[in-house]
Structure 1
Amino acid sequence: MLHRYFVIALALLAVLVGVQLPNFITQYEQRLDAQYTEAMVYYKEYQRIADTYLNGDMQALIEMHEQSDNPVFKDEAVPIRELVRRVELYRFEQQQLNQGYLQKIWFVAWQANPELRDNTWRMYSFNVPLTRQAVFTGVIAALLVVLLFDGCVGGCKFAYRRWRRRHSTAPQH
């Protein structure tokens, strides 16, 4: 009887954790969008310069800064290169997050920008959204946890019975 209550509590915990996954992904997407929007404010200005003088070639703008005799312009190449890298990274991540739900989960779990994912987790706001994805994820999480738990318990019981049977029928010395 106590075992069943524990399984029910475990299933409820899995549901509560499971419904957080879509919420975490949403908060990650919002953080990514904010970072991208901020980076684009500065990127657009450099792109405008590249458009005016270098046929839109940002790499040529960076190289021009790197090859400059002026140390101020030379040093400016590093933050411009980093800005271009970040904008490209954010665009790539937004493309990955425009896929299906399971691909989003996989991407955020294994391929997302670790710094952005860690910041999202650090600033994460727990709530229980009742969206279709949240309910689906919660139910699937509960089923997986209960099946895994019952499978482990059943496997342990089976192994114990076999061990006990083997030792109880073994000749006594």
Structure 2
Amino acid sequence: MLRSYLRLLLFTCGLLLGVQVPGLINDYSQRVQAHLLESREGLKGFEQTAQRFFNGDLQALVRHYRASDDPVFHSDADSIDSLLGRNRLLEGEWQILQGPWLTRTWHVLVAADAQLRDETLKGYSYQVLLVPEAIAWGLGCALLPALLLESFLLLLGWVLLGGRRKPVQPSWR
């Protein structure tokens, strides 16, 4: 009886953990999109200046600022370069998040930008999404650990008992 309850508990924990995966991916995607829009807005003024004087080449604008003797321009060049680097990072993240679900999931769980992932986890509130992919993740994360643990325990019992089964008790009938 206790074994059945433990099995149910493991299954339920796996299910609840699994339904969080699509919500986490969704929150990470929204965070990347928000930062990307902010990054684009931050570059807009510099892009206009680059468009007017350097045919839209932001790197030429940065080189021009660095070539100046004015330390204010050098500081601005560093700022623009930093904004451009951040924008490239966010554009890359956004492109990956537009791919297939397996690629998105792997990226968010394993290869996501650490700062954005930490930001997402700190702001994440647990949720139960009732969408097909959340249900599939939930069932997958519930069945796999339950199956693996049950198989391991049966194998362990088989090894410890030497492959013998308990004798069948005669029925009271």
TM-score by length of structure 1 reads 0.90
Cα distance in 1 for residues equivalent to 2:131 and 2:5? 27
Q: Residue 162 of structure 2 aligns to a residue in which SS?
A: helix
Residue aligning to 2:169 = none
Q: Could you say what secondary structure the match of 2:136 adopts?
A: helix
- Report the alpha carbon displacement of residue 118 of structure 1 after superposing the two structures with TM: 0.6
Correspondence 1:37-56 to 2 at 5 A: 37-56=37-56
**Paired residue total:** 164
**Equivalences for residues 73-152 of structure 1 within 5 A:** 73-152=73-152
> What is the rounded CA distance, in whole Å, between the counterparts of 2:67 and 2:18 in structure 1?
53
In the TM superposition, what is the alpha-carbon distance from 1:124 to its structure 2 partner? 0.4
Q: Deviations over 1:92-145 (max 9, x none)?
A: 111101111111100111221110001100110111110111001000111111
Point out where structure 2 has 5 or more consecutive residues left out of the alignment.
165-173
What RMSD, in angstroms, separates the aligned Cα atoms of the two structures? 1.5
Matches of 1:68 and 1:5 in 2, distance apart?
73
Aligned residue runs from structure 1 range 152-163, under 5 A: 152-162=152-162
How far off is 1:36 after superposition? 0.8
Q: Determine the structure 1 residue equivalent to 2:11.
A: 11
Identity %: 34
After superposing on structure 2, the runs of 4+ consecutive aligned residues of structure 1 that deviate more than 6 Å are: none
Residue ranges of structure 1 left out of the alignment (5+ in a row): 165-173
Aligned residue type for 1:113: D
Give the TM-score normalised by structure 2: 0.90
Q: State the alpha-carbon separation in 1 of the partners of residues 114 and 66 from structure 2.
A: 29
**Shift in Å, 1:163:** 9.8
